[in-house]
Amino acid sequence: MPRIPIFRLGSSAEKLDPPKLTRYTPSLSLEGLQLGVDNLRTDVHLSPKFVEQARLHIARYIVRHGNMEELLAAEIRNRTVSSFAPLREKDQAKSEPTELKPLLAALHVAALNRAKSAGNLSLDLLARVAIIKFLRVELQAQFAQVLERGRMMLKSYEGVRQQKALEYRERVAGFQVAKKIILRKAGMELFHTLREIEKETLARMRQSFFGSRGDAEYKLFLDPLLFTEDGRDTYLNADHYVMLGTFDRDVDCFSNVRRITCEFLQSLDLGSDSGDEAALDGWLNAPENAQELVGTGNPDESTKAGRGQQARLDEWVERLEKEDLMEHVIASYEAVPLLAEYSPRIHAQQLKNALISKEERARVEKLIEDHGKLSAESLHSAQGRVSNCRGASRAKVAGRFLRDFLRYHRDLRRLEALNGALDSVNLIGNDKMRELSAMNGTLYDFLLPDEQKPSETTVARHIILKADVRDSTRLTKSLLARDMNPASYFSLNFYGPVNKLLAKYGASKVFLEGDALILALFENEGESSLPVARACVLAGEILEIVRGYNQLLERSGLPTLELGVGISYQDSAPMYLMDGEDRIMISDALNESDRLSSCNKRMRKPLQALKSPFNVYAFQTASSAEASENPDELIMSYNLNGIRMSEAAFRRLQQEITLEPCSLDLPQLWGNENFQLYRALVPVGNEIFRKLVVRASRVPQINIEDFSLQQWTERGYYEVCTNPAIYQALEGKAAAR
């Protein structure tokens, strides 16, 4: 095939740079999982409640899209309750998906939590694959059941009520003929529901748990071809990609278009492996290559890259014209708007071919005329646009076609990879097989939370959160001097609002001091409840509440509250002693949280003058030798409306969620603090996520007299950032990328 080594512009010649293409090969591997009882596949048992309800919803989708409500309603008219009872039209679109959606979300979230607890992302991938396989199987099974019920209904009408029998016979025949259409519509409902769950909940939750691990694999579950038999559905392709021919003899069939595209790539200067099938397939799986090759179909020739794109676009158009493919490409796009008016009475491929062939157009016009209620005006307008597509418009369509074909090629390969994974999963529905697999330790059970057997709750580790009010003595005296009640002041503006948060975060009150609140969060054995992450978010919300109340207090001329929060983690259960009927907690984390929440008065004035974006600092005031003997007593802490966590809590947080390093240009102590920022997402409820920014810095050794730096120590301290400006700056930086 000819190569394109130069681009000619007037009398000059310019050597083209070869395009820089990317490669992508979809794959899905379920590693580290036990094979099932057949030693070939992985045994999976799905929630019985989910299975039952999902079958009901799939059956309803099929009944509705197959226009079988009236026929089945006649069959069950004398029944009091029926799972197939037709819903009111205005309720169908709303009630059914919202009923199925939370059920699907709950099962997926349970699987993701299990994967996090086990530290094995393959468990979540396995659950995803098993759910997809179940939904696919049920689409076919429920269609067959509805069809069988329709046939049984017809038998009951034999010999009586001939008019109704004829009407219902036509309805059942039409239902059977429209199988592919019905399954496609029902499958797309399921796909849209799964995509919404992924976007609203699962993607962020997985990012929080595992970071970017597995991102490529999870894209396989967002493939529009997910619920098609072979990925070659004319109507779905028209909606999402481009309408290709369905028969091998069609000039625009997939295999022929792929051949032409491969030859186009081989004609370019792509290196020694341009003839390798694996390399070609990898390039075809990357739709972004279309932009690199031909741009948007209208390249900017003022740049060298644009001139290269124009040269390759000319070559691409020439190939499509030479293969008699260009007219089919243009017609495939012009046929899409016609589908809403003429389909399914006239097949999509007929409409496309009618825009090219006079003979096929005559047949389609006859079908339109026979129908009576249809007009051929839209068909003739589309045919005119196909005939008049020339020059730059033709090239733009060719550029769009290359991009759409590469997207389709990629998603077809993703479907093939997913199908391979589906074949490796054995869905267990038989009780005996389930018992056998469980007995051999090869069964993976994915259940809804309310189906899981309650286990004995053994506390494995705990977190202490202390919120300490700054200058409470001064504050109390100030209120008393104004004949105000300090107890009600603290209760209304601090203790009361914070109490309302405890249930939300699974926190319990250890005890209440006059100027401090001490809370505990527990993690049971075998659970992955993210207690440190939840404690960080809870602490941040406490400070948000206090900030809000402070604004009201300032308007009323009342003194405001200042806090310091400390978070301490202990990798063991706390101990207790009994004081009559009361339990008193004993834990090293209590003492540590007290130190973390404290604020040295001597540090307040110089640090407040700095106007730093941070609220927590720690300083060492002795020599390294002295510090090694009793380091905690030599640390001077600054914590004003901030959250400081222990190093153990920070290390545990790194295990609970993914902390992604990030950077901002912010003021640093003495210009060389070299702190590190980390950001994360914390799931705190159904579809609720909170952003978290953590700062890790080193403890400086200073001269307390003039606040000068002596040296940086190796000790670290950790702050959960509470300044809204930091979060806004990170969001702005991410948006600017």
Give DSSP secondary structure letters for 96-148: HHHHHHHHHHHHHHHHHHHHHHHT-HHHHHHHHHHHHHHHHHHHHHHHHHHHH
At 270 the pLDDT is 83
At 352 the pLDDT is 95
The verdict on 340 and 265 lying in the same domain is: yes
> Rounded distance, CA 112 to CA 525, Å?
18
b/e per residue 380-411 (b: at least 16 CB within 10 A): eebbeebeebeeeebbbbbbbbbbbbbbbbbb
| List of long-range contacts for 99-104, beta carbons under 8 Å, 24+ apart | 99/53, 99/57, 100/53, 100/54, 100/57, 100/193, 101/193, 101/196, 101/197, 103/49, 103/50, 103/53, 103/54, 103/448, 104/50, 104/54, 104/131, 104/193, 104/194, 104/197
The verdict on 476 and 376 lying in the same domain is: no
At 73 the pLDDT is 77
Q: Give me the CATH number covering residue 712.
A: 3.30.70.1230
CA distances to 76, 307, 515, 643, 676 from 564, rounded to whole Å, are 67, 62, 11, 6, 22
Asked if the model's pLDDT at residue 81 lies above 80, the reply is no
Please state the separation of Cα 473 from the chain's center in Å. 49
At 301 the pLDDT is 84
Residue 13 lies in a domain: no
At 92 the pLDDT is 45
Based on its alpha-carbon atoms, the radius of gyration of the chain, rounded to whole angstroms, reads 34
Higher pLDDT, residue 90 or 324: 324
At 137 the pLDDT is 96
What is residue 585's DSSP assignment? E
The verdict on 650 and 506 lying in the same domain is: yes
Place of tokens 């209440």: 512
CA-based angle 277:26:408, to the nearest 5? 80
Alpha-helical (H) ranges within 219-357 are: 234-240, 254-266, 277-284, 288-294, 304-322, 326-342, 348-354
> Rounded distance, CA 582 to CA 269, Å?
80
Higher pLDDT, residue 330 or 578: 330
> Rounded distance, CA 538 to CA 351, Å?
60
What totals of helices (H) and strands (E) does the chain contain, helices first? 29, 18
Domain residues for the domain of 656 are 459-736
585-606 tens-digit pLDDT: 889 999 999 999 999 888 888 8
Asked if the model's pLDDT at residue 83 lies above 60, the reply is no
Q: Of 387-401, 462-476, 564-578, which has the strongest mean pLDDT?
A: 387-401
Boundary (domain end) residue, out of 187, 222, 257: 222
Contact present, 268 and 4 (Cβ < 8 Å): yes
In sequence order, the 6+-apart residues with CB closer than 8 A to the CB of 157 are 164, 165, 168
Helices 89-118 and 121-156: angle between axes, nearest 10 degrees: 150
The verdict on 63 and 167 lying in the same domain is: yes
pLDDT average, residue stretch 182-198: 95
425-438 tens-digit pLDDT: 999 988 899 999 98
The verdict on 192 and 315 lying in the same domain is: no
CA-based angle 507:510:516, to the nearest 5? 100
Question: pLDDT grade, residue 457 (50/70/90)?
Answer: low
244-260 tens-digit pLDDT: 999 999 999 999 999 99
> Strand 676-685 and strand 688-703: pairing?
antiparallel
At 455 the pLDDT is 55
Residue 433 lies in a domain: no
The verdict on 154 and 274 lying in the same domain is: no
What is residue 657's DSSP assignment? S
Place of tokens 């995803």: 128
Boundary (domain end) residue, out of 222, 256, 277: 222
| Percentage above 90 pLDDT, the chain | 58
Nearest to 338 by CA among 354, 315, 326, 322: 354
The verdict on 545 and 622 lying in the same domain is: yes
Nearest to 329 by CA among 258, 252, 384: 252
The verdict on 312 and 374 lying in the same domain is: yes
Domain count, the chain: 3
CA-based angle 511:514:517, to the nearest 5? 40
CA distances to 235, 251, 476, 486, 494 from 480, rounded to whole Å, are 77, 91, 6, 7, 18
pLDDT average, residue stretch 5-25: 67
pLDDT average, residue stretch 547-569: 89
Q: Which residues pair with 297 in a beta bridge?
A: none
> Rounded distance, CA 579 to CA 577, Å?
7
The verdict on 253 and 349 lying in the same domain is: yes
> Rounded distance, CA 360 to CA 136, Å?
36
At 607 the pLDDT is 83
CA-based angle 41:44:50, to the nearest 5? 150
468-524 tens-digit pLDDT: 988 777 888 888 888 888 888 888 888 888 999 998 898 998 887 767 899 999 988
The verdict on 283 and 372 lying in the same domain is: yes
Mean pLDDT of the chain: 87
CA distances to 253, 332, 371, 382, 440 from 357, rounded to whole Å, are 17, 13, 21, 13, 64
Question: pLDDT grade, residue 380 (50/70/90)?
Answer: very high
Asked if the model's pLDDT at residue 371 lies above 60, the reply is yes
> Rounded distance, CA 398 to CA 309, Å?
13
Annotate 304-339 with DSSP letters as a single string.
Answer: HHHHHHHHHHHHHHHHHHHTT-HHHHHHHHHHHHHH
At 627 the pLDDT is 47
> Rounded distance, CA 108 to CA 81, Å?
30
At 131 the pLDDT is 98
Asked if the model's pLDDT at residue 5 lies above 60, the reply is no
Please state the separation of Cα 17 from the chain's center in Å. 38
Residue 725 lies in a domain: yes
> Rounded distance, CA 73 to CA 594, Å?
68
The verdict on 525 and 623 lying in the same domain is: yes
Task: Count the residues in the chain.
Answer: 737
Structure tokens at 733: 């930086």
Question: pLDDT grade, residue 160 (50/70/90)?
Answer: low
Query: Computed from CA positions of residues 134, 140, 141, 143, in that sequence, does the dihedral angle turn out positive or negative?
Result: positive
Residue 448 lies in a domain: no
Residue 442 lies in a domain: no
The verdict on 187 and 127 lying in the same domain is: yes
Asked if the model's pLDDT at residue 78 lies above 80, the reply is no
Boundary (domain end) residue, out of 222, 254, 277: 222
> Strand 443-446 and strand 425-427: pairing?
unpaired
At 76 the pLDDT is 61
Residue 216 lies in a domain: yes
Residue 272 lies in a domain: yes
At 40 the pLDDT is 92
Asked if the model's pLDDT at residue 10 lies above 60, the reply is no
Question: pLDDT grade, residue 454 (50/70/90)?
Answer: low
Higher pLDDT, residue 687 or 702: 702
Q: Of 23-37, 410-424, 520-534, 587-601, which has the strongest mean pLDDT?
A: 410-424
Residue 230 lies in a domain: no
